Amino acid sequence: MIRRHRTTALVALAAALTLSACGGGGDPLAEDEGSQEGDSTGDGGQSLVIGSANFPENVLLAEIYAAALGDAGVEVSTNLNIGNREAYMAGLEDGSIDLIPEYTGNLTLYLNEAAEATESDAVYAELQEALPDNLTVLEMAEAEDKDSVVVTAETAEEFDLASIADLAPHAPNMVLGGPPEWRDRFTGVPGLQEVYGLEFSEFKPLDAGSTLTVQALLNGQIDAGNIFSTDPAIVENDFVALEDPESLFAAQNVVPLIATDAVTPEVEEALNTVSAGLTTENLTEMMVQVQDSDPADVAREFVDAL
């Protein structure tokens, strides 16, 4: 197993606490209008603020959590599109959000620079060991959404590309696109260099979702790009997601990350029910729907069918 050198979680978290707004306008950790301070409502009930990262799938998952918890009688508000992991982890630390949808592999690496597991159950076990006492993960879903390195079908055919390793002789003449944090995160440029020996001519920072990355691939601004594996754009544009034989991208099962003191039997049951119903297939189908529908409406339909 290749040893992977990463920025420590403690350093990242300390930096995150000083971050200014990085998405959505205004203070990314400010609560939505109508949300309440503290952890209880005026009549003594529980109130949770659900956050999301700044990409469509995470917004959808946050809306699913909100719908399920609301049905369980928990008062909830949402603070969507906060930004990247460094930003929303700061929100969990300062109490401005209580819950966020997460992904097991990348969260584990964020918390533990020495994490080496790649399979789902092993990653989940490492994640539980790495969590600080003030944070808890509930049951993980079967649904998984991994980072992937994607090329156009034409590029794959021209250079006979099937796996990330096949890029090695061509990367010096290629531009790689991905979210800005890919420049420094191990599951980005550093890992592609260390694990696969890839030295791209340029890294172009784009979006954390796929909109800009898709367009950049289609118009030739980049030759390879990071697109999440459940993104319908891969199929719609006949892109090729390259295989990852060295498991640079560990298992990424969807999991609720929640403040420990916010966990109650009602909250746990509602969120575990969501996780039990989420599959990679239905999550991918919902991502197609949110292209033309409000994520809250898609979330409501999913929760109603649980």
How does DSSP assign 169-193, residue by residue?
A: TTGGG-EEEE-GGGGTSSTTHHHHH
Average pLDDT taken over every residue of the chain: 87
Write down the pLDDT at residue 33.
36
Write down the pLDDT at residue 125.
98
pLDDT band at 202 (very low <50, low <70, confident <90, very high): very high
How many H helices and E strands in the chain?
12, 10
Q: Name the residue with tokens 């754009």.
A: 233
| Structural domains in the chain, sorted by start | 9-145+250-304 (3.40.190.10), 149-241 (3.40.190.120)
Q: Name the residue with tokens 């069918």.
A: 305
202 strand-pairing partners: 175
Query: Phi/psi zone of residue 26: left (φ > 0), alpha (ψ -120 to 50 degrees), beta?
Result: left
Question: Would you give the distance in Å from CA 79 to the centre of its chain?
Answer: 16
Write down the pLDDT at residue 25.
35
Mean pLDDT value of segment 129-144: 97
pLDDT band at 113 (very low <50, low <70, confident <90, very high): confident
Tell me if residue 202 falls in helix, strand or coil: strand
The answer to whether the predicted template modeling score (pTM) of the entire model surpasses 0.85 is no
Coarse DSSP helix, strand, coil percentages of the chain, rounded to the nearest 5 percent: 40, 15, 45
Give the tens place of pLDDT for each residue, 137-146: 999 999 999 8
Give the tens place of pLDDT for each residue, 279-304: 999 999 999 999 999 999 999 999 99
Least confident of 115-119, 220-224, 255-259: 115-119
pLDDT for 148 beyond 50: yes
21 contacts 27 by C-beta, under 8 angstroms: yes
**Which of the 8 DSSP states describes residue 172?**
G
Write down the pLDDT at residue 10.
37
Write down the pLDDT at residue 209.
64
Write down the pLDDT at residue 207.
79
Write down the pLDDT at residue 197.
97
